Structure 1
Amino acid sequence: MTTALLPPATDADLAVLREQLGRPARGVVGIAARCVCGNPTVVATSPRLPDGTPFPTFYYLTHPAATAAMSVLEADHVMRELADALAEDEDLQAAYLRAHESYLADRAAYGEVPEIEGISAGGMPTRVKCLHALAGHALAAGPGVNPIGDLALARSSWSPRRCVCAQPGAAG
């Protein structure tokens, strides 16, 4: 598990996040994954936003190219394929449950929020609901922690090992 606290986001990180998202990022507690150039790729968000709203999505994918790649996979019905694989493979189910537990432990390091207790993101531990959330967790936690996120990243056109931040329309 990756329950160590993240270093806080810098003003430069927050500026890049604003550009990536088209709005200020809310409740940022740190940058959980970065592009090879150093720009944020995944932000870690407080389980309770500053306005008091419970927010279960601790790992939030922000990199424009990564989010676009996950959107393409979702449009291409890859979620259905991954859900079918999950339904048929007991080892995958067990690994996905461990990913869910890891996610909850990471978020709990930043506070317990009763309204979202036991709720992680992306459909874990039994469904495949949002590849953006699952890829964000996979990038933050590293390979081998979230098997569905790992599979989505492997199937995508985007790679965390190749910077595309300087391309038109991307942050940087």
Structure 2
Amino acid sequence: MKPEAWPQPPQPVSEADAAAVTAQLGRPIRGAHAVAWRCPCGQPAVVETEPRLPDGSPFPTTYYLTCPKAASAIGRLEGGGVMKDMNERLAADPELAEHHRRAHEDYLARRARLGEVPEIDGVSAGGLPDRVKCLHALVGHALAAGPGVDPFGDEAIEALPEWWAHGSCASGPEVPE
């Protein structure tokens, strides 16, 4: 089930957003450049992160999925073996592999707009461009970029339940399976 508002323009991180992300992650927000996608419940769900954190560390995960409900639902997909199937399809389908490679290039181009960090040059996230390693990263990218950019992120979003329909991403009941 796709959320209706996808993609959204990035928004500056407000104090309320920083507090919500801190509650979601259980630690202070680091290196946030913008809220890249806001959950239908109104909370930040994907944070666009600077490629270098305030302490100087390189950080390749530009689109960090912060919503614990979405993350939990994605974890159930991963636990169900969907990535094994995705990797098999990636290896067998040259057109899909090319689309996955283009998602990698999109990820790198979006990060480059935030700054160049030589230590992570050519490194994106989620296993891009050669495999599917982390659906959390691919879903974060897909929600920030919009449909049609990250094929496996899009596919995972389609398979997720309506995590936003059961209370706030920063608190509230768990998402039913």
Contact 2:69-2:174 within 8 A present in 1 as well: no
Q: Quote the residue 1:153 is aligned against.
A: 157
Q: 1:117 aligns with which of 121, 138, 143?
A: 121
Q: Quote the residue 2:53 is aligned against.
A: 49
Q: 1:167 aligns with which of 158, 163, 172?
A: 172
SS at the partner of 2:47? strand
Contact 2:65-2:137 within 8 A present in 1 as well: yes
Structure 1 position 7, deviation (Å): 3.3
Q: Quote the residue 2:87 is aligned against.
A: 83
Aligned residues: 165
Q: 2:12 aligns with which of 2, 8, 17?
A: 8
Per-residue CA deviations over 1:75-129 (Å, capped at 9, x if unaligned) read 1111111111111111111111111111101111110000000000000011100
The answer as to 2:30 corresponding to 1:26 is yes
The answer as to 2:66 corresponding to 1:62 is yes
Q: 2:96 aligns with which of 92, 99, 106?
A: 92
Contact 1:17-1:62 within 8 A present in 2 as well: yes
Question: Tell me, which stretches of 5 or more residues in structure 1 are unaligned?
Answer: none
Contact 1:70-1:131 within 8 A present in 2 as well: yes
The separation in 2 between residues aligned to 1:111 and 1:155, in whole angstroms, is 33
Structure 1 position 159, deviation (Å): 5.2
SS at the partner of 1:102? helix
Structure 1 position 31, deviation (Å): 0.5
Per-residue CA deviations over 1:16-40 (Å, capped at 9, x if unaligned) read 0011001111000000001113210
Per-residue CA deviations over 1:27-58 (Å, capped at 9, x if unaligned) read 00000001113210100111000000000000
Q: How does 1:134-149 map to 2 (within 5 A)?
A: 134-149=138-153
Structure 1 position 169, deviation (Å): 5.8
The separation in 2 between residues aligned to 1:34 and 1:163, in whole angstroms, is 15
SS at the partner of 1:168? coil
TM-score if structure 1 supplies the norm length?
Answer: 0.90
The root-mean-square deviation of aligned C-alpha atoms, in Å, is: 1.7
The separation in 2 between residues aligned to 1:76 and 1:28, in whole angstroms, is 31
Contact 2:50-2:62 within 8 A present in 1 as well: yes
The separation in 2 between residues aligned to 1:15 and 1:73, in whole angstroms, is 28
